[in-house]
Amino acid sequence: MRIGELARTAGTTTRALRYYEAQGLLDAPRRTNGYREYDESHLRLVREIQALQAVGFQLEETRPFVECLLAGNATGDSCPDSVAVYRRKLAEVDACIARLTEVRREIAEKLTHACDQRERTCEK
Domain region containing 101: 3-123
What pLDDT does 123 receive? 59
Question: How many domains, the chain?
Answer: 1
Per-residue pLDDT of 55-96, as tens digits, reads 999 999 999 999 999 999 999 999 999 999 999 999 999 999
In angstroms, rounded to a whole number, what is the distance separating the alpha carbons of residues 13 and 15?
5
Please tell me the predicted confidence (pLDDT) of residue 30: 85
CATH number at residue 119: 1.10.1660.10
Residue 119 confidence (pLDDT): 78
pTM: 0.82
- 46 burial level (CB within 10 Å; 0-12, 13-18, 19+): buried
